[in-house]
Structure 1
Amino acid sequence: MTTLVPSVTTQPAEAPAPTVRQYIRYLFYKARPSWRQLSPDKRAEARSELLTILEPFAKQLAVLRAFSTLGTRADADFVLWMVSERLEDFQELQAAVLSSTMGAHLDTVYSYLAMTRRSQYIDRHVHAEQEGR
């Protein structure tokens, strides 16, 4: 006697969602002596141009902050802190900075790059300022 057993169809297990990685970059710049030889008006113009260049990146990146290191480091004048899910964002920003008027007077003295996962606690403890970050 033959007994037929109904076939059991198994659904392939859904793959877990890929972990979203964030890249972090600290980019340290030092102004060349040629920067200090420019007139105050030319320097102000160049700074304004740089801020205009950085503005779209501030909207595109998860984090873009600039900090002065004057008085704390002899080898760097300011640092850009960036967080993004795409490495290409960092390359595009660096190219834009270096192609600016001010960029012609800057040396990149340090560039630190790291990769991390977003904190598991971010969604549990929400602040208004972190929306979309």
Structure 2
Amino acid sequence: MPKVEYDNFQKICLFKLGQKFRLLDADERSKGKQEFAAAIDDLSSVHPILSYSTVGTRADTDFMLVQDSPSIETFHETSRRLNTTLMAGYLEQPYSYLSIRRKSRYKHGGGTPGELKEDYKYLIIYPMTKTRPWYEKSMDDRQKMMNDHFRTGINYPMVKINTTYAFGLDDTEFVLGFEMDDPSDFVSLVMDLREVPVAQYTATEIPIFTTIRMPIAEALDAMV
């Protein structure tokens, strides 16, 4: 494999608030949320943590945190710090994804490595794994099929794709992120992509998380 350019690691964590937290008195809930939000703000001073709400879009999660760093140890420290908060005792983490940014192996695909932005209202993410027959094809054959994939994506400049790679790091091969201001644009894009030949080589691409970008304090208030 030719030498490629790698960039930062990315960690995505999705959390679900336990019902017992909602039974606490209002003052204790408020203090717990303030402490958690303050920890996020403090940790973000070095490696920013983006926060998203899944209240109303997923039944099994309430909010999502995304952090980029050149070192995996950053994610360890983030988790360690958050685990010291009161709220951590009431949170479950049903999903998490560890991956790394790098240039695509295919020409005109995936863009250059870059972090998620804060100027899009929605972020939709999901893990994706290819079938074994895909990797048995020559690079030229794969490039030809990916060209159709890229041509379809060009028709949706309002949807920004963000691909990270999890080979050997997590239970999936890719973590795909799509930023947009209108989710209906993404629905149209996915429907069109289903019709290109490369789609038959996708083994899995669930679960899908539709999230709403918002400050961590607002995301926590949306839960209780």
How far apart, CA to CA, are the structure 2 residues paired with 1:30 and 1:121? 30
1:90 paired with 2:75, answer yes
Partner of residue 77 from structure 1, selected from 51, 62, 66 = 62
Q: Where in structure 1 are there 5+ consecutive unaligned residues?
A: 1-17, 123-128
Structure 1 stretches of at least 4 aligned residues deviating more than 2 Å after TM superposition: 18-21, 117-122
Aligned-pair identity in percent equals 26
For the 8 Å contact 1:28–1:111, the answer to whether it is kept is: yes
How many residues end up aligned between the 2 structures?
105
1:98–1:106 Cα contact (<8 Å) kept = no
1:65-97 CA distance string (max 9 Å, x none): 111110000000110011111111111111111
Asked which structure has the greater RCO (Cα within 8 Å, sep 6+), the reply is: 1
Over aligned residues, Cα RMSD in angstroms? 2.2
Tell me if the contact between 1:21 and 1:116 (Cα under 8 Å) persists in the aligned partners. Answer: yes
Distance apart, 1:120 and its partner CA: 4.6
Partner residue, 1:46? 32
Higher Rg of the two aligned structures: 1
Q: Which runs of 5+ in 2 are unaligned?
A: 104-110, 120-224
- 8 Å CA contact 1:20–1:85 kept in 2: the answer is no
Q: Secondary structure at the match of 2:28?
A: helix
Residues 121, 24 of structure 1: alpha-carbon distance in 2 compared, 3 angstrom cutoff: closer
- Superimposed CA distance per residue, residues 93-125 of structure 1 (whole angstroms, 9 cap, x where no aligned partner): 111112200011101110011111376587xxx
- TM-superposed deviation, 1:56: 2.2
Query: How far, CA to CA, are the matches of 1:25 and 1:44 in structure 2?
Result: 27
Tell me, yes or no, if the aligned pair for 2:101 and 2:113 is still in contact at 8 Å. Answer: no
Judged with a 3 Å threshold, the aligned counterparts in structure 2 of structure 1 residues 121 and 73 are, in CA distance, closer, same or farther, namely closer
